[in-house]
Amino acid sequence: MKTFNVGVVGMGTVGAGVVKILLGKNSPLKEKLGCIPLLKGVADRNPGAKNRVDLPSEILYTDDAKVLLHNPDIQVIAELIGGVHPAKEIIMQALESGKDVVTANKMLLALHGSELFKKARQCGKSISFEASVGGGIPVIAAVRDGLIANRIDSIFGIVNGTTNYILTKMTKENVKYSDALAEAQRMGYAEKDPSMDVDGIDSSHKLAILARIGFGTDFDYKQIYCEGISTIDLSDIRYAHELGYTLKLLAVAKRTEDYIELRVHPTLLPNDHPLSTVNGVFNAICIHGDAVGETMLYGKGAGQMPTASAVVADLVDVGLGRADITFRAMKTFSGNCECIPIADILQIQTRYYLRFTVVDKPGVLAKISGILGNYHISIASVIQHESKENGNVPLIMMTHSAEEGNLQKALAEIKRLDVIKDSTRFLRVEE
């Protein structure tokens, strides 16, 4: 059996999963392949990391990544430490030492992908990154290879397991936000800094990667509009449900004639939308291509073994020589990509859920709807319950499709009305 040698840098949640698969006694890799990845060494700075997997004595173990980077027997490095520094330097050094790289580090690719890809091209080596989006779902391969014949019009979905886990717990089990987050951390879903998850930043890193591959364009990652779930109020989840909608944190990339929309934000979806039924740590990504039409990929978006599954798939690609061919053919981050303008959030058009806190007296609805009407925003439905808090009541509206710039102007005007008693909450809707 032919083999190739792998060095794993970072034996945390994902790295330990990769090591377990590579050391597996009845590995399906041996049954399916004529050339398999062999674990040569592991580097982790955390003294407790060694206890995560029972490593055979022949596996080199070190707390210093450089030991693996300088080892001429290692052909491929799996960077699984996360963050920008020193992950970036480790990858650069691995490439310079003539090693291919596999990484799950979406933050690094979103922020420094161009520089890293340039280095890999100069060194004649590859960078593979299937685990960077969608955990165990092979979405990178699908967008890059399987759907290559298509002009992609839209890629949107749930790409963060932690936030979907939290929202599901809040919606279905009435669990408090902080408890649900703590549970997601315990399960190994969350980033080291969980604000990356809950503030939508991790989703925007993933959206940057998907949009660059799917649309064959390059852009500054900071152009992605990003809003997280930390300010979500349970009452909005309940009212939305009454209106027939489910709340999800969506990453949305849409291509129009003139621009691309790139945005991450809490979004209401009709209850019968396929994404509304994606719960817990599961992710799902809908991709629309001109030839294939609508597709949807679904699976566990975070966690040890699903993510390790994607990392090992990349390692196999390197060993079989596929990664090299794919990497050389890919225009992503080449500097030769089409430049398409990115839409400002004020240009987008969606329906909106609005929750006003108003005094309970005649004429309030007329005042608010009058202002909305002046900005060409028409109301599709309204809910007002009798329950009162300090004489104030929530007034919920669902609008028809409107431009966000107009909505923002209308809300600024409505805010000045004496009948408005608290800040107004609005959520975007996708159909």
- Binding-site member from 199, 202, 314, 317 for ligand HSE (CB under 6 A): 202
Q: Does 190 bind ligand HSE (CB under 6 A)?
A: yes
Show the tokens assigned to 25: 């006694």
**Separation of alpha carbons 71 and 66, rounded Å:** 8
CB 222 within 8 A of CB 201: no
Considering only residues 117-156, where is the footprint of ligand NDP by CB under 6 A? Answer: 131, 135
Q: Does 129 bind ligand HSE (CB under 6 A)?
A: no
Rounded to a whole number of angstroms, the minimum distance from the CB of residue 132 to ligand HSE is: 7
- Binding-site member from 21, 42, 81, 284 for ligand NDP (CB under 6 A): 81
Show the tokens assigned to 53: 């997997």
Q: Point out which span in 69-77, 190-198, 227-235, 250-258 binds ligand HSE (CB under 6 A).
A: 190-198
Q: Which is nearer to ligand HSE, 207 or 419 (CB)?
A: 207
Considering only residues 159-218, where is the footprint of ligand NDP by CB under 6 A? Answer: 188-189, 191-192
Q: Does 160 bind ligand HSE (CB under 6 A)?
A: yes
Query: Quick one: what does residue 197 bind among ligand HSE, ligand NDP, none, with the CB cut-off 5 to 8 Å set by partner type?
Result: ligand HSE
The Cα-based distances of 170 to 259, 265, 284, 377, 419 in angstroms read 35, 17, 19, 31, 31
Q: Which is nearer to ligand NDP, 44 or 317 (CB)?
A: 44
Rounded to a whole number of angstroms, the minimum distance from the CB of residue 78 to ligand HSE is: 15
Give catalytic status of residue 206 as yes or no: yes
Task: Please count the other Cβ atoms lying within 10 Å of the Cβ belonging to residue 2.
Answer: 10
Rounded to a whole number of angstroms, the minimum distance from the CB of residue 341 to ligand HSE is: 28
**Separation of alpha carbons 61 and 71, rounded Å:** 12
Q: Does 358 bind ligand NDP (CB under 6 A)?
A: no
Residue 31's Cβ-side half-sphere holds a number of Cα atoms within 13 Å equal to 5
Q: Does 41 bind ligand NDP (CB under 6 A)?
A: no
Q: Does 306 bind ligand HSE (CB under 6 A)?
A: no
Residue 45's Cβ-side half-sphere holds a number of Cα atoms within 13 Å equal to 8
List, in sequence order, every beta strand (DSSP E) within 27-136. 35-43, 60-62, 76-79, 100-103, 127-128
Query: Quick one: what does residue 49 bind among ligand HSE, ligand NDP, none, with the CB cut-off 5 to 8 Å set by partner type?
Result: ligand NDP
Residues 89-128, one symbol each (x = binds ligand HSE by CB under 6 A, - = not), give ----------------------------------------
- Binding-site member from 14, 21, 42, 249 for ligand NDP (CB under 6 A): 14
The Cα-based distances of 132 to 139, 204, 325 in angstroms read 10, 12, 20
Return the SS3 of 7. strand
Q: Which is nearer to ligand HSE, 289 or 306 (CB)?
A: 306
Q: Which residues have a Cβ under 8 Å from the Cβ of 268 and sit 6 or more positions away? A: 240, 245, 246, 247, 353, 427, 428, 429, 430
Query: Quick one: what does residue 216 bind among ligand NDP, ligand HSE, none, with the CB cut-off 5 to 8 Å set by partner type?
Result: none
**Separation of alpha carbons 302 and 305, rounded Å:** 9
Q: Point out which span in 92-100, 118-126, 188-196, 325-333 binds ligand HSE (CB under 6 A).
A: 188-196
Q: Point out which span in 15-23, 157-165, 309-317, 410-418 binds ligand HSE (CB under 6 A).
A: 157-165
Q: Which is nearer to ligand HSE, 191 or 199 (CB)?
A: 191
CB 149 within 8 A of CB 291: yes
Query: Quick one: what does residue 109 bind among ligand HSE, ligand NDP, none, with the CB cut-off 5 to 8 Å set by partner type?
Result: none
The catalytic residue among 119, 206, 248, 300 is 206
| CA dihedral over 290, 294, 298, 301, signed as positive or negative | positive
CB 421 within 8 A of CB 358: yes
- The burial class, CB within 10 Å (0-12 / 13-18 / 19+), for 295 is middle
Considering only residues 262-301, where is the footprint of ligand HSE by CB under 6 A? Answer: 301
Rounded to a whole number of angstroms, the minimum distance from the CB of residue 177 to ligand HSE is: 15
Backbone phi and psi for residue 126, each to the nearest 5 degrees, phi listed first? -120, 155
Say how far residue 227 (Cα) sits from the centre of its chain: 13
Catalytically active residues, by annotation: 206
Residues that bind ligand HSE (CB under 6 A): 135, 160-162, 189-191, 197, 202, 301-302
Residues that bind ligand NDP (CB under 6 A): 9-15, 43-46, 49, 65, 80-82, 86, 104-105, 131, 135, 188-189, 191-192, 302-303, 307
